[in-house]
Amino acid sequence: MEAPTYSSKQVAEMLGVSPKQIPEDARKEAYTPDDIWELRTTLNAFPARVGHRRQLFLNFKGGTGKTSLSTSYAWRLAELGYAVLLIDLDSQGHATKCLGYEGEDFEKTLLDVLVRKTPLAKVIQKSTLPNLDFIPSNLTMSTVDLALMPMAGREFKLRNALKDVEAQYDIIVFDAPPSFGLLNLNALMAANDLFVPVLADFLSFHGLKLLFETVQSLEEDLNHVLDHVFIVVNSFNATFKLAKEALEALQTHYPEFLLPTIIRQCTKFAQASSEGRPVFVADPTSKGANDIQAMIDNILPRLVAAAAAAQKKGTQQAG
């Protein structure tokens, strides 16, 4: 994918400044991601700190929007100025494709890190945004569960591998495959926050129950507590009576986890993924882009508040 270009209005919005604040000698018809990064540095227009979050998009059920949501979320956070690493955990390589790359073109994946002890930094790739990196995936990743099976400390491989690089990123986003195995267990153990994309249908309920049981057993058996769990309703179509009923059932059963922002069904969103372009590039005015932005607007203040509270606690303990 070619690097996108942006209008001054978009740039001002991404930097959180008014268009007039862009210095006259830096004004252009179209801005590249590098131009924007330079401006961000000049204006010191960095977003509020969120600490170092590791966020997993997971649902054992297939086709609920894990990849569409995780890739557009990661992309938009990078556009807003966060340093982001997107890790494609799925041997289908769809997250890699959504960024405009073919997984098969990459020699190394996370398999090399988890199984062959390649340092994680060696498999990180640069995207077309200067502050968005990714780890690609391809079919070779399909053997990872089997390869991990006989290993000691097999649940902690990913968490340990991330230690060398996590300080470089504000947010690490994982796109999980729709399966229930050691790789996803590694991802859960590496994550602070869990995003569960669900479709508003009753079949999704079954998968949710299993997922919440797994999360609970992680807490009990492996002593790993997630900071946040967000259920995100995706591909919602309010004209379907069943979808409205399913949403009400989610509100009844999971009120504390359900995000108030819903991602509506959006053809342009689906089209963008199939073309290997993030929806914010393909059509930043689409319902899909607007809804992901609304989700970010809902979540970011909570992450900023959590980071501030953790810092305060750290300072108090140090003092």
Ligand X SMILES: Nc1ncnc2c1ncn2[C@@H]1O[C@H](COP(=O)(O)OP(=O)(O)OP(=O)(O)O)[C@@H](O)[C@H]1O
Residues that bind Mg ion (CB under 5 A): 66-67, 94
Based on the shown chain and the rule CB under 6 A, indicate whether residue 293 belongs to the binding site for ligand X: no
* Beta bridge mates, 193: 55, 228
| 8 Å CB contact between 208 and 198 | yes
What is the distance between the alpha carbons of residues 201 and 69, in angstroms, rounded to a whole number? 18
What is the closest distance, in whole angstroms, from the C-beta atom of residue 176 to ligand X in the complex?
Answer: 8
**E-state strands within 15-107:** 53-57, 84-88
Closest distance to ligand X from the beta carbon of 277 (Å): 12
DSSP annotation of 53: E
Q: What would the two tokens of residue 119 be? A: 């340092």
For residue 167, the minimal CB distance to Mg ion (Å) is 28
Closest residue (Cβ) to Mg ion? 67
* Residue 234 site contact among ligand X, Mg ion, none (CB < 5 to 8 Å, cut-off depends on kind): ligand X
In whole angstroms, the minimum distance from the beta carbon of 68 to Mg ion comes to: 8
Rounded Cα distance between 222 and 279, Å, is 37
Residue 179 tokens read as: 């399966």
Q: How far is the CB of 290 from ligand X (least distance, A)?
A: 11
**Residue closer to ligand X (CB basis): 57 or 169:** 57
Rounded CA separation 279/252 (Å): 31
Q: Would you say 10 or 67 has its CB closer to Mg ion?
A: 67
Q: Which does 170 bind (CB under 5 to 8 A by kind): ligand X, Mg ion, none?
A: none
The answer to whether residue 96 forms part of the interface with ligand X (CB under 6 A) is no
Contact by Cβ (8 Å): 110, 144: yes
Among residues 75, 127, 125, 130, which one has the least CA distance to residue 278?
A: 75
Output 15 or 77, the one with its CB closest to ligand X: 77
| Residue 82 binding target from ligand X, Mg ion, none, CB below 5 to 8 Å by type | none
**DSSP 8-state code for residue 319:** -
Give the residue with the Cβ less far from ligand X, 36 or 196: 196
Of 72, 192, 234, 286, the one binding ligand X by CB under 6 A: 234
User: Minimum distance between the CB of residue 4 and ligand X, rounded to whole angstroms?
Assistant: 19
From the CB of 150, what's the least distance to ligand X, in Å? 27
User: Which of positions 255-274 make contact with ligand X (CB under 6 A)?
Assistant: 263, 265-266, 269-270, 273
User: Least distance in Å: CB of 101 to Mg ion?
Assistant: 15
Can you tell me the distance from the alpha carbon of 307 to that of 301, in angstroms, rounded to the nearest whole number?
A: 10
Which of residues 3, 41, 42, 63 is near ligand X by CB under 6 A?
Answer: 63
266 binds, among Mg ion, ligand X, none (CB under 5 to 8 A by kind): ligand X
Give, in order, the Cα–Cα distances in Å from 148 to each of 101, 117, 181, 315. Answer: 27, 12, 10, 39
Q: How far is CA 79 from CA 6, 257, 282, 315, in A?
A: 11, 27, 14, 31
User: Which tokens in the block code for residue 98?
Assistant: 């959504």
Which residues does residue 201 pair with via DSSP β-bridges, in sequence order? none
Question: Do 169 and 84 touch, CB atoms closer than 8 A?
Answer: yes
Q: Which residues bind ligand X (CB under 6 A)?
A: 62-68, 90, 94, 177-178, 234-235, 263, 265-266, 269-270, 273, 288
